Amino acid sequence: MKTSNLTYRLPAVHQGGFGLVELMVAMTLGLVVLVAVGYLYIGSRQAFRTNDNMARMQENARYVLDTMARDIRMAGYIGCPNLAAVTPTSVASAPAMTAAEAITGWDTGSGPGTTGDAIQIMAAVSGGVQLTAALPAATAEVKIQSNPFGFKANDILALSGCNNVDLVKVSAVAGGGPTTITHDGARLGSYAATDMVMKVERYAYFISGTGLRRSSLNEGTAELIEGIRDMQIVYGVDTDSNGTPDVYQNAAAVADWRRVVSVRISLLMASQDDNVVPSPQTYSFDTDDDGTPNDVVAADRRLYQVFTTTVGVRNRLN
């Protein structure tokens, strides 16, 4: 039997490639994808910048408005329900503190600061410390049970009896248990052993440059936040003595500061970064103290926002 060898031949396989048209289509698709990814990245980055600047503005506004509101609510507080019900007297170099001066304000250009309105608040800011004994008038030394609030030389203190109040400037403090406070000048009122001694503070808020500053009688001046472009303040005036605001007026129109029972603050804030919005923003803000917002076109591409709050003066509201 004869065996034959069989030889199998595989068909030749030729190397294939891409044609010019296929290459052009692939390149076009790649460019489309690349452009889409680029636009997505740019859009996401811009959205992040916008949201980040907005969040910082809102945080700053919340902080500064809360700080101002806390001080405004306490305006005129001296341990009694209402400063208007007592007769404050001042001696030596202590600041005046009357019902008319618990809150005072200035319109743009008439008070401290470079831009916007300004406001000043005065009140007792510490808890009260009780006297050790009754205190007759015209006594240069004031004795209290202890000194938990750290009263020291040059502090302004209020001796509050709710019938009369003396403001004194401390010249010396001595004692570790019962504490003796020596002050400048002679007091005018007499006080019972149950009456209190409290520290008095005066705050002024105003804009310097683009920062909101807070000036303190005892602590000096410090910048609270940056990015404040304008501040407008109107005052709720009680015209019929019922303890509620009847009309809101700017500082120049307030005839009697004792009748101010609330304060409305509007802040114009700008983002820290420029080129946040695609074109200059148009915003509404009362720029001329007439109580009516004006439409303003920004000079840059920052993000602008207006924040407004109304605060009641706790010691004057009904």
User: Number of C-alpha atoms within 13 angstroms, CB side, residue 295?
Assistant: 3
Structure-token match 């003796």, residue found: 180
pLDDT of the chain along its 318 residues, tens only?
555 555 556 565 555 566 777 778 778 888 888 887 777 767 677 677 788 889 999 999 999 999 999 999 999 888 765 555 555 555 545 455 555 578 999 998 888 887 899 999 988 887 788 888 888 876 668 888 888 888 888 888 888 877 777 788 888 888 766 788 877 666 667 888 888 888 888 899 999 988 999 998 878 899 999 999 999 999 999 999 898 999 999 999 999 998 999 999 999 999 988 888 889 999 999 877 777 888 999 999 999 999 999 999 988 887
Query: How far is C-alpha 312 from the chain's CA centre?
Result: 15
Backbone dihedral angles phi then psi of residue 135, each to the nearest 5 degrees? -125, 110
CB 169 within 8 A of CB 184: yes
Could you tell me the sign of the dihedral formed by the alpha carbons of 85, 130, 190, 125, in that order?
Answer: negative
Instruction: Report the relative pairing of strands 196-208 and 179-183 from DSSP bridges.
Output: unpaired
CB 163 within 8 A of CB 188: no
- pTM for the model: 0.78
